[in-house]
Amino acid sequence: MRVGIVCPYSWDVPGGVQAHVRDLAESLIDLGHSVSVLAPVDEPETAALPAYLVAAGRTVPVPYNGSVARLCFGPLSLARTRRWLRKGRFDVLHLHEPTVPSLSMMACFAAKGAMVATFHTATARSRALQVFGTTLQPGLEKITGRIAVSPAARRVVVEHLGHDAVLIPNGVDVARFSVERPAHDRPTVVFLGRVDEPRKGLQVLLAAWPAVQARVPGVELVVAGPGDVEPPPGVRVLGLVDEKDKPSVYAAADVYCAPNTHGESFGIVLIEAMAAGTPVVASDLEAFRRVLDDGEAGLLFPVGDAVALADALAALLLDPERRRLLAAKGSRVVQAYDWRHVTREIVEVYETVRAAAPVELEELEEPYLDELEGEDDPSRVPETLRRWLAVVREAVER
């Protein structure tokens, strides 16, 4: 199957949606599908881009849904999107976050044919839908299949767009995170995420930290993620961690801490940590509670409560047997989120959508028109002209 995937956020900036698109594209390719990904790229000269990626242009930083989103729009990106759609001749077009005013939305308006959309965000309000409301509806109703990555994201789809979405969780390459756990002498807690973004909750963890230090001798906190932070004593700052080093960062921790305050629709970091065999302490957000099986596979503490967080961290750091039990439970939980399993479910959606989307005449003509525009070898024109006329004749006869 020829699959076109559109990612609305910059490919060279780390993020959940980008990671999802990358892993999905790669596991689709592993299954033998032909995949092209269209995404904004901020530094096309320096970024190492995979062969399946097509750059759509640079992004503009826009404050959006409580953090700064780098979005991509404008006539040049639109022209590139159109060309990519024409050349790709996709059997299925898979848009990510089409309600964010970026590339996916443009592709949705420009494209025809079988379309699938994945909704990631669990934020109760989308600014774009608030501002433009019903004017976006005619574009979004071209989408035949909707996927939500979490029950919270699914609820947002139901509230905003008025219909249901199929629930397929984010995938994790479990095998990649199952690395050897290095021995270390100091008890270690790891935080991974943007350090200067309040909703990731580092401030809650730092507020709890003195109380943890007082109870657990020699404990160390490792903070990994982009952004500036002034490290207090006993806190090691790694800065931005390369994607390939992530598994060993998780595996080097005794406990992984996710103190997020809001806006987390899924919590892929929890799955990654559990796949690496690290027990988790997370804030009691709905998405986290679901991933952690209501606290069976990891500890939950009330959102933003530094005292409760310190208690949970200290208790777990001082109890190796409990950590072992949670790690064992965690590695069972992550199997349902393995990409191989998730990709099969997504391909099922593609196949159903291909059958459920109407075939439009323009779809047949456009590829031939594109060749007539002279982008390919000119000597092929008479041949393509003949084929194109055959299509037109067939359409007229029908």
Partner 1 sequence: MNAAVAWSVLAIILIAVYITWTAGRLDRMHARVDAAWAALDAQLVRRSAAARALGVLSVTRAADEALDATPERRQDVENDLTRALRAAWASLPEGAPRDELEAAASRVALARSFHNGAVTNARTLRRNRLVQLLRLSGHRELPEFFDVDETGFSDEEPGPLT
- From 187, 153, 65, 113, select the one nearest 355 (Cα to Cα): 113
Smallest distance from the beta carbon of 161 to partner 1, in angstroms?
9
CB 27 within 8 A of CB 172: no
Residue closer to partner 1, measured from CB, 163 or 380 = 163
Q: In which element (H, E) is residue 64 found?
A: strand 60-64
- From 43, 10, 48, 6, select the one nearest 24 (Cα to Cα): 6
Residue closer to partner 1, measured from CB, 98 or 263 = 98
Smallest distance from the beta carbon of 291 to partner 1, in angstroms?
17
Question: d(Cα 315, Cα 329) in Å, to the nearest integer?
Answer: 18
How many angstroms separate the Cα of 51 from the Cα of each of 25, 34, 55, 111, 369?
11, 12, 11, 23, 26
Smallest distance from the beta carbon of 358 to partner 1, in angstroms?
4
Residue closer to partner 1, measured from CB, 139 or 198 = 139
Residue closer to partner 1, measured from CB, 137 or 307 = 137
Smallest distance from the beta carbon of 168 to partner 1, in angstroms?
8
Q: Indicate the SS3 state at residue 157.
A: helix
Residue closer to partner 1, measured from CB, 158 or 237 = 158
For the chain, the straight-line distance linking the first and the last C-alpha, in angstroms and rounded, comes to: 27
How many angstroms separate the Cα of 324 from the Cα of each of 26, 247, 255, 282, 328?
32, 18, 11, 17, 6
Residue closer to partner 1, measured from CB, 53 or 136 = 136
Smallest distance from the beta carbon of 317 to partner 1, in angstroms?
35
Residue closer to partner 1, measured from CB, 280 or 334 = 334
Smallest distance from the beta carbon of 348 to partner 1, in angstroms?
6
Q: Which residues bind partner 1 (CB under 8 A)?
A: 138, 141, 144-146, 162-167, 348-349, 351-353, 355-359
CB 307 within 8 A of CB 315: no
Smallest distance from the beta carbon of 312 to partner 1, in angstroms?
30
Max Cα–Cα distance, the chain, nearest Å: 84
β-sheet bridge partners, residue 301 = 283
